[in-house]
Amino acid sequence: MNFQLRDGSVEYSRAPGTLGWKRFIAGIPATRVVNLAGSNSAIVLWDPMHEKDRRFDNLIRIDASGQIVWNAQTPPQQPSDAFTSFDIGGDGKLTARTWSGYVLEIDLTTGRTLGSSFAK
């Protein structure tokens, strides 16, 4: 199982050299895709510049069928915000950063915010 980013779209293949599907979601290009080992899913960051004037919850987990498992929420106190980057640490924790300067720890299973801090 392999998810990859190509020309802004997310591609999925079950075996090297084969293409299972390729797509944008809601017409939005992706900027980063990270496979989650042993889960047949990946974390996808959609282009944060796509929606600049409102809240844009652009960090998702997608499964092998292309379905969204969860969609992480930006901090509610910001009327316009988006995720700009994320990391998955060696401890398996997902940390995401927002345009407005928040750092969120996100549960990989549910997509819920476990904690947040302002870092700007």
- Supply the pLDDT for residue 14: 86
Q: What is the CATH number of the domain that holds 100?
A: 2.40.10.480
Q: How far apart are CA 17 and CA 27, in angstroms?
A: 25
- Supply the pLDDT for residue 113: 96
Overall number of domains in the chain:
1
- Supply the pLDDT for residue 50: 78
pTM over 0.95? The answer is: no
Pairing of strands 113-118, 83-88: unpaired
List, in sequence order, the alpha helices (H) in the chain: none
Q: Would you state the structure tokens that stand for residue 50, as one six-digit string?
A: 């796509």
The boundaries of the domain holding residue 112 are 2-118
pLDDT by residue, tens only, the chain of 120 residues: 699 999 999 999 988 888 899 988 778 899 999 999 889 999 999 998 877 667 889 999 999 999 999 999 999 877 889 999 999 998 889 999 999 999 999 999 999 999 999 997
